[in-house]
Amino acid sequence: MSLPISRRAFAGTLGAAAGVAILDTPLMSRAAEAAAKAAANRYPDALAEEAREAIAKHHGVAVDQVLLGCGSSEILRMADMAFSGPGRRVVAAEPTFEAVLMFAKVLRADGVKVPLTADFRHDLPKMASACDATTGLVYVCNPNNPTATIVTGDEMAAFAAKVPPSATILVDEAYHHFVEDPRYRSSLELIAKHPNVVVARTFSKIYGMAGLRLGYAVSSMEAIAAMAPYASWSNTNAAVLAAAAASLADPDLAPRQKKLLNDTRKWLVSELTKQGRRTMPSEANFVMVDVGGDVAPVIQAFRAKKILVGRKFPSLPNWLRVTIGKREEVAAFLAALPEIVPAPVRAA
Ligand SMILES: Cc1ncc(COP(=O)(O)O)c(C=O)c1O
């Protein structure tokens, strides 16, 4: 099976596909050094326990409330395995990050897709109504990939109160660190009241470790205990655990990366607005741009210029997803865009 194009490496171009942060900034060097020095000749289990402890401390929860994964993708798969299966319903938005519904399909669960609202946000009231007694899992990607829109803290709290406790609410916070909207709150705050809430996080995005693979879940001890048996043994590696420990020990790293990425994103959006283009409000490190027609040939035209942009999302056929890379990469994208899609003519 070939990987979706958006997940392949494409050297020397705008790294604009899978929503990863800038990897090679000086900010990342301490983590990279730690990874290079990691003991490759030993199983990583002791280091994994230390990482669990560090993550638990970071979030102020018990160690038994934390589960590590080979990227957060493995966390999503474990949630599917623990909480879905034949005859069970898995509810998700459309479009959203596909992994949960893909794993659900393999497990012969019934995937239910709930379209986003007209302003490209999760339709939580409809998603809650779609949760019946057979529902095992409901997935909320916050911020959402590919739209970069958010669910507010109040909306999420109201949703958690409505969903039956027999359904697990999986909140994917892969892009949590980029959010600036004050109405947003992490769903970690819901776990004490709603033990069926599982929050997934990753070191792939703000910490720039997509190639090293580390993600984790935080939830109630019961939910973590239900997911843990589905982890493959020694599912993390010494290099990423050392890099993650170094990153967590530097409280300024995530805020600095956030500022770097978000400043570039704001510049991109202002330049696109100057070109007269419509964008979705972004709270992540990628932006959706309206190209006014089928996005498929636009993506191909960018590839021909060695600029890799996101793939087509069939339910948003006119929208192009571009991930924030280095400033010069974004500049290359901005220069190429009018050559591929002439800017809309504005009313005088
Ligand atoms: C919303 C979301 N969740 C999870 C992932 C998986 O990330 P990883 O497995 O690298 O942690 C991605 C990757 O693109 C994503 O966009």
Q: What pLDDT is stored for residue 3 in this prediction?
A: 34
In the numeric block, the tokens 């990607």 are attached to 141
Do both 314 and 196 map to the same domain? no
Do both 144 and 224 map to the same domain? yes
Do both 169 and 285 map to the same domain? no
Residue 237 CA to residue 47 CA, distance in Å, equals 9
Output the CA angle 235-91-145, nearest 5 degrees. Answer: 65
Do both 191 and 269 map to the same domain? no
| Amino acid code (one letter) for 182 | P
* Token pair belonging to 234: 């020694």
This prediction has a pTM of 0.93
Among the three residues 224, 248, 272, which one is the final residue of a domain in this structure? Answer: 248
- Counting from 1 in the atom list of ligand 1, the atom nearest the Cα of 210 is 10
Ligand 1: residue of 172, 175, 212, 288 to mutate (most ligand atoms within 8 A of CB) is: 172
Ligand 1: residue of 67, 142, 205 to mutate (most ligand atoms within 8 A of CB) is: 205
- Counting from 1 in the atom list of ligand 1, the atom nearest the Cα of 141 is 1
Task: State yes or no: cis peptide before 143, omega within 30 of 0.
Answer: yes
Task: State yes or no: cis peptide before 95, omega within 30 of 0.
Answer: yes
Q: What are phi and psi of 125, to 5 degrees?
A: -60, -40
Give a yes or no: residue 347 inside a domain.
no
Q: Which residues line ligand 1 (CB under 6 A)?
A: 18-19, 71-73, 97, 141, 145, 172, 174, 202, 204, 210, 215
Q: pLDDT by residue for the chain (348 residues), tens digit each? A: 333 334 433 333 444 444 444 445 555 677 788 888 888 889 999 999 999 999 999 999 999 999 999 999 999 999 999 999 999 999 999 999 999 999 999 999 999 999 999 999 999 999 999 999 999 999 999 999 999 999 999 999 999 999 999 999 999 999 999 999 999 999 999 999 999 999 999 999 999 899 899 999 999 999 999 999 999 999 999 999 999 999 999 889 899 999 999 999 999 999 999 999 999 999 999 999 999 999 999 999 999 999 999 999 999 999 999 999 889 999 999 999 999 999 886 655
The beta strand positions in 149-196, using DSSP E, are 168-172
Give a yes or no: residue 348 inside a domain.
no
Number of domains into which the chain is organized: 2
Q: Tell me how far the alpha carbon of residue 19 lies from the centroid of ligand 1, in angstroms.
A: 8
* Token pair belonging to 162: 């409505």
Q: Tell me how far the alpha carbon of residue 276 lies from the centroid of ligand 1, in angstroms.
A: 31
Q: What is the residue range of 84's domain?
A: 27-248
Q: Tell me how far the alpha carbon of residue 142 lies from the centroid of ligand 1, in angstroms.
A: 12
In the numeric block, the tokens 């957060």 are attached to 72
